[in-house]
Structure 1
Amino acid sequence: MRVFSVFTAWSAILSCIAVVYAQSGPDPIGTIHEGHVPADLYGSDYPYPWPVKLFKFYNQRQKLTMAFMDIPAKKSHQNNKTAVLLHGGNFCGVTWFDTARHLSAAGYRVILPDDIGFCKSSKPQGYSYNVQQQALNIHSLLNALGIDGVIVIGHSMGGMIAARYGLMYPNNVQQLILVDPLGLEDWVAKGVPYLPIDATYESQVVQNFTTLQAYEEASYFHNATWKPAYDTWVEMLADIYAGNYGSEYAYVMSLVTDALLSQPIIYHLPLLQTRTYLMVGENDITALGKAWSPPDVAAKLGHYNKLGPAAAAMIPNSTFHMFPGLGHAPFLQDPEAFYDVLFAWLD
């Protein structure tokens, strides 16, 4: 108990330091490129429904490019609010397409970034993919666009980044919405053994449509029927693994996995100052490290029907919803149920 208390206190101190540094230190200077963007960008040729723009900036001693879409609000319903939607680790910003379309129709400007390392963005090999850095990258993009207050919506890994964004920039967040975020448990503390980055890379570099679909079907849509509509999101990733940037992407995923395992957000949820909304699927069983953990450890991991309510109870100003019978991606599995809850919260 004493070790846990010390660790929790130290985590809180580190979080406060991160907040002070992020709010007082200069953001990376960047520029927005709105000219021609090739269809195949950093290994991704997946068609995006809106024009792709590029945020070019300097970070960690290298030039980087973050791809994003900027969807304007429908003029007849403009409410002068902006929503930024953060994707999960096995997704891209475009996975939020239908949600973005609904938000735009309801009067919201919508920003859909591809995180650094993912999809149509740069895939640096010598890079720290921690959630603070990704949150800072998003903040730098919004600064370059001249956007101040935002509604932040994050799914899975994007939920971890969104929560960190809320901790780092509480004055810039109007609403924080977390959709089945990772990090609601400390995987390592529960017994997930360390897997070297090189070993993780070896498991990633062989990924293809079949292995990706099997993983998503088992973890993301547990106890549900796989729909052909989900295939497009698997193909989106499988094509990157099979393309010219396949090896780089596999290594990025290894670095990301290593970073996320060491940064669960569960200890920092009580520090959130923003109005926070948490939604999870009752059947979500997603957990980092489960695949290489002993059976007794794996059995402890990823029970969102318990993790969700426990996490919500830790957040000072929160609202919680659990989708009966849904898994890790409720906005894909039952969009109408997802929109009912989302827009009730936004209204």
Structure 2
Amino acid sequence: MKKIVCMLALLLTTACASNQKTSTEVPKKTEGFDSVLTGYEYPYPVSYYTFEGQGQKLQMAYMDIKPIGPAKKTIVMLHGKNFSGYYFAPIMKELQALGYRVIVPDQIGFGKSTKPEHFQYSFPLLARFTADLLTQAGVTDFTLVGHSMGGMFATRLALMYPERVQKLILVNAIGLEDYKTLVPYKTFDEQYPAELTTNADKIRNYQKVAYYDGKWKEEYEPMLIPPIGWTKGPDAALIAKTSVMLSDIIYTQPVYYEFKNLKMPTILIMGQRDKTAPGKPFASPENQKKLGDYPKLGRDVVKMIPKGKLIPMAGLGHMPFVEDFSGFMKLLEAEL
């Protein structure tokens, strides 16, 4: 764990230092970031895939890390909802050293990518954008790694493009159950006011409880720089709106019933302490007990997948690559 938090602190603190040097990019009237994190430097150079979508110009930011010499293969990593590509920095560095090309996109609505004011989000649409980005980058086939909500993105992409995804690796993916069968639906208008009140303490406390079993470390702070900066920036309302719209597709567009259709080898790496379940606070006390039972979910879902394999990580939560980086990388490298 010390290895990853030290690397995160180094890589992301460097970003903070860079932000201070380029602070003129951020309006002086705010101490936060705009919607595309202007002034916040990612751990690797950022490229952009520009295209038209729903009648507007969109840009997907992505990092494309190439190894020295011929690449063994290409690894594509898809981020979760509460982060964007930057939090994979230590994994990217390790994979690059092992000879892999690593591509990490920010989905539309996340990170440095466009956040449209009006947009109909869907997993299939975002998967299509990602596939098109990879085609532009000259990537025909790849190993796909998805964490948290990125696991739902990755599953949908693998279902749509089975000929391109050589192997699918899901790291504490959400979507291993159908939330709408256990959680009452909340409209945008019901969720948006609460999302507008998000602040540094709420972000930190949520991750402390949900990800780290109530044990917070200062070394985790660099990962919170972008989301906290957004709450203090000029586009906080747009970020809140985008967050609610993306929460809706988690609820309304399950992948749970289609795990049986995955054709490629699929690995579930799962911290067994995880209890993550979107919308859990809205569920009845009885359903709250059922939601997010990752040990059970892993055992049940892997049976649905024709070429499935479950790798449990005992005593770890939703962020196993943060809590036990060396242990996680050992497992990941073996599967690659």
TM-score class normalised by the smaller sequence? 0.7 to 0.9
* Equivalent residue number for residue 235 of structure 1: 225
User: Is contact 1:92-1:119 (8 Å) kept?
Assistant: yes
Query: How do 1:207-286 residues align onto structure 2 when only pairs under 5 Å count?
Result: 207-222=198-213, 225-286=215-276
d(CA) in 2 for partners of 1:141, 1:276: 23
Indicate which of 33, 42, 66 corresponds to 2:35.
42
- 1:295 Cα deviation after fit: 2.2
* Equivalent residue number for residue 163 of structure 1: 155
SS in 2 for 1:54: strand
Cα deviation, 1:148-199, whole Å, max 9, x if unaligned, reads 0111100001000001111000000111110111110111112x11111122
Query: How do 1:103-118 residues align onto structure 2 when only pairs under 5 Å count?
Result: 103-118=95-110
User: Is contact 2:209-2:215 (8 Å) kept?
Assistant: no
- 1:256 Cα deviation after fit: 0.5
Name the amino acid aligned to 2:283.
S
* Equivalent residue number for residue 71 of structure 1: 65
Q: Which moved more, 1:167-176 or 1:230-239?
A: 230-239
User: Is contact 2:35-2:238 (8 Å) kept?
Assistant: no
- 1:79 Cα deviation after fit: 3.3
Q: Considering only aligned residues, what root-mean-square deviation do their CA atoms show, in Å?
A: 1.4
Which consecutive residues of structure 1, in runs of 5 or more, have no partner in the other structure? 1-37
Indicate which of 298, 301, 307 corresponds to 2:288.
298
SS in 2 for 1:182: coil
User: Is contact 1:73-1:105 (8 Å) kept?
Assistant: yes
d(CA) in 2 for partners of 1:169, 1:41: 34
SS in 1 for 2:290: coil
Say whether residues 1:51 and 2:42 are aligned partners: no
d(CA) in 2 for partners of 1:241, 1:114: 19
Indicate which of 172, 186, 203 corresponds to 1:195.
186
User: Is contact 2:123-2:253 (8 Å) kept?
Assistant: yes
- 1:41 Cα deviation after fit: 6.2
* Equivalent residue number for residue 90 of structure 1: 82
d(CA) in 2 for partners of 1:151, 1:318: 15
- 1:131 Cα deviation after fit: 1.1
User: Is contact 1:130-1:260 (8 Å) kept?
Assistant: no
User: Is contact 2:34-2:230 (8 Å) kept?
Assistant: no
- 1:60 Cα deviation after fit: 1.6
Which consecutive residues of structure 2, in runs of 5 or more, have no partner in the other structure? 1-24, 27-32
Normalised to the residue count of structure 2, the TM-score between the two structures is 0.88
Indicate which of 129, 134, 138 corresponds to 1:142.
134
Q: State percent identity of aligned pairs.
A: 38
Name the amino acid aligned to 1:295.
P
d(CA) in 2 for partners of 1:171, 1:68: 23
SS in 2 for 1:129: coil
* Equivalent residue number for residue 309 of structure 2: 319
d(CA) in 2 for partners of 1:274, 1:65: 30
Indicate which of 318, 324, 327 corresponds to 1:334.
324
* Equivalent residue number for residue 174 of structure 1: 166
SS in 2 for 1:326: coil
SS in 1 for 2:48: strand
* Equivalent residue number for residue 20 of structure 1: none
d(CA) in 2 for partners of 1:184, 1:125: 30
* Equivalent residue number for residue 309 of structure 1: 299
Name the amino acid aligned to 1:212.
I
User: Is contact 2:46-2:61 (8 Å) kept?
Assistant: yes
- 1:258 Cα deviation after fit: 0.8
User: Is contact 2:35-2:239 (8 Å) kept?
Assistant: no
Cα deviation, 1:110-153, whole Å, max 9, x if unaligned, reads 11111100111100122122111111111010011111011110
User: Is contact 2:171-2:269 (8 Å) kept?
Assistant: yes
User: Is contact 1:43-1:240 (8 Å) kept?
Assistant: no
d(CA) in 2 for partners of 1:85, 1:134: 14
d(CA) in 2 for partners of 1:206, 1:146: 42
Name the amino acid aligned to 2:114.
S
- 1:297 Cα deviation after fit: 2.1
Indicate which of 132, 150, 155 corresponds to 2:124.
132
d(CA) in 2 for partners of 1:337, 1:290: 29
User: Is contact 1:43-1:243 (8 Å) kept?
Assistant: no
- 1:50 Cα deviation after fit: 1.2
d(CA) in 2 for partners of 1:280, 1:109: 24
* Equivalent residue number for residue 10 of structure 2: none
